[in-house]
Homo-oligomer: A and B are copies of this chain.
Amino acid sequence: MEKRIILLPGDGIGKEILEAAVKVLHVVEEKFNHRFVYETHAIGGNAIDRFGVPLTDETVNACKNADAVLLGAVGGPKWDNVPADIRPEKGLLKIRKELGLFANLRPIKAFASLLHASPLKEHIIKDSDILIVRELTSGIYFGKPSERRENGKVVVDTLYYERYEIERIVDKAFQFARMRKKKLTSVDKANVLESSRVWREIVNEKSSLYPDVEVEHLLVDAASMKLITNPSQFDVLVTENMFGDILSDEASVLTGSLGMLPSASIRSDQFGLYEPIHGSAPDIAGKGMANPIGMILSAALMLRFSFVMEEEASAIEAAVNETLSDGYHTADLQIENGTKLSTNEITEVITEKLQSTITGKKFSNV
């Protein structure tokens, strides 16, 4: 299969980790007989340096004509003093908006060899494997009016949703639940908010289209507790923008490996933008120390969600897991009796594992 991928390295360690991910994808191409065509464009601080804006129309158009986008990270102290409307982060917000990416996906999975780094007791976090599906382009972060009134005596923000915006994200979540353990937890505040009552109704309506998926409703305050006391009870968790912002960040620290978590921003067709949730880490940029795993796992998500290459995605994840289990790690992690490697070295180990995992199995399309 041929796929066109836009690479947006961005700033700081973005370039190094994206190169690592491409090396891993080369093995997938070879072994599974795919062809990935890459095109690199600027975003963030380096786009400001070159073009005066964090995102050019050219980059946007290139993304629109591609099958998927891989993004490193943006920002850094170098651009602390640029005007607010052209800050590096604005490039990120703009590209999500221009591409209509309404669903943010955050898989949270504990790595067995890193449980010691979790703030939770190991028996609690151990078997957790959660996919958080967050609505990303509507709700109170975008609703109007959002203003001061009566000379500043009053202030309002508006939580605004259109029915179709809820329907499409709920549909996505049901589809993911179907690809996983077939359990969907919908989080709302239906005992208080009208928008949450509509949300819950839509989940219940859609539920009849996915009779094989078990549905549970949970209030957002209860969800914030259960993520801590019983994270392994979740499979897919779907929620609106603001609740998703809070809960996905809460969930991201549970495993203790925040620096290695991937994410995806997608829409109703198969197009998506994939990026690690960590930042651009300008302090270690160019030193060969960066941990490329969040980026590599983001590439795996791209294979799974945009290219429907589940076998390929799983093979990458297995190679990463095995690498960590063998005690290989980068400078940001600690594994007892482990081996500390550079960005290139750990990428090498992962690609080797991937080679042998794939060769060791019988894949229909090899």
Residues of A within 8 A of B (CB): 118-121, 124, 140-141, 143, 146-148, 152-163, 189, 192-195, 198, 220-222, 224-225, 228-229, 242-243, 245-250, 252-254
Cross-chain contact of A120 among B119, B193, B220, B249 (Cβ < 8 A)? B119
Q: List 25 A-B contacts (CB under 8 A).
A: A119-B124, A120-B228, A141-B192, A147-B194, A148-B194, A152-B198, A155-B160, A155-B194, A156-B194, A156-B195, A157-B194, A158-B159, A159-B159, A189-B242, A221-B245, A221-B246, A221-B248, A224-B247, A224-B250, A225-B249, A225-B253, A228-B250, A228-B253, A228-B254, A243-B246
Q: How far is the CA of A162 from the CA of B228 in the complex (A)?
A: 34
Known: A120-B121, A155-B161, A229-B253. 13 other contacts (CB 8 A): A119-B124, A120-B228, A140-B140, A146-B194, A155-B194, A155-B195, A156-B160, A157-B158, A157-B193, A159-B159, A221-B249, A225-B253, A228-B228
**Shortest Cβ gap from A247 to chain B (Å):** 7
Chain B hits for A252, CB < 8 A: 225
Chain B hits for A156, CB < 8 A: 143, 158-161, 194-195
Q: Which residue of B lies closest to A153 (CB)?
A: B163
Q: How far is the CA of A254 from the CA of B229 in the complex (A)?
A: 8
- Cβ A157 vs Cβ B195 within 8 A: yes
Q: Which residue of B lies closest to A224 (CB)?
A: B250
- Cβ B224 vs Cβ A249 within 8 A: yes
Q: How far is the CA of A162 from the CA of B225 in the complex (A)?
A: 30
**Shortest Cβ gap from A126 to chain B (Å):** 12
Q: Which residue of B lies closest to A227 (CB)?
A: B250
Q: How far is the CA of A221 from the CA of B157 in the complex (A)?
A: 18
- Cβ B157 vs Cβ A153 within 8 A: no
Chain B hits for A254, CB < 8 A: 228
- Cβ A153 vs Cβ B162 within 8 A: yes
Chain B hits for A118, CB < 8 A: 121
Cross-chain contact of A246 among B153, B220, B253 (Cβ < 8 A)? B220
Q: How far is the CA of A243 from the CA of B189 in the complex (A)?
A: 12
Q: How far is the CA of A140 from the CA of B194 in the complex (A)?
A: 10
**Shortest Cβ gap from A256 to chain B (Å):** 9
Q: How far is the CA of A31 from the CA of B162 in the complex (A)?
A: 63
Chain B hits for A140, CB < 8 A: 140, 157, 159, 193
Q: Which 8 A-B pairs have the closest CB atoms?
A: A221-B249, A224-B250, A157-B159, A155-B198, A146-B194, A225-B253, A155-B195, A157-B193
**Shortest Cβ gap from A40 to chain B (Å):** 30
Q: How far is the CA of A253 from the CA of B152 in the complex (A)?
A: 38
Chain B hits for A141, CB < 8 A: 192-193
Q: Which residue of B lies closest to A159 (CB)?
A: B157
Q: How far is the CA of A120 from the CA of B253 in the complex (A)?
A: 12
Taking each of A118, A119, A198, A229, which has the highest tally of chain B beta carbons within 10 Å of its own beta carbon? A119
Q: How far is the CA of A246 from the CA of B245 in the complex (A)?
A: 12
Q: How far is the CA of A249 from the CA of B187 in the complex (A)?
A: 15
Chain B hits for A158, CB < 8 A: 156-159
Q: How far is the CA of A224 from the CA of B157 in the complex (A)?
A: 21
Chain B hits for A228, CB < 8 A: 119-120, 228, 250, 253-254
Cross-chain contact of A163 among B119, B154, B221 (Cβ < 8 A)? B154
Q: How far is the CA of A272 from the CA of B146 in the complex (A)?
A: 34
**Shortest Cβ gap from A72 to chain B (Å):** 22
Chain B hits for A152, CB < 8 A: 163, 198
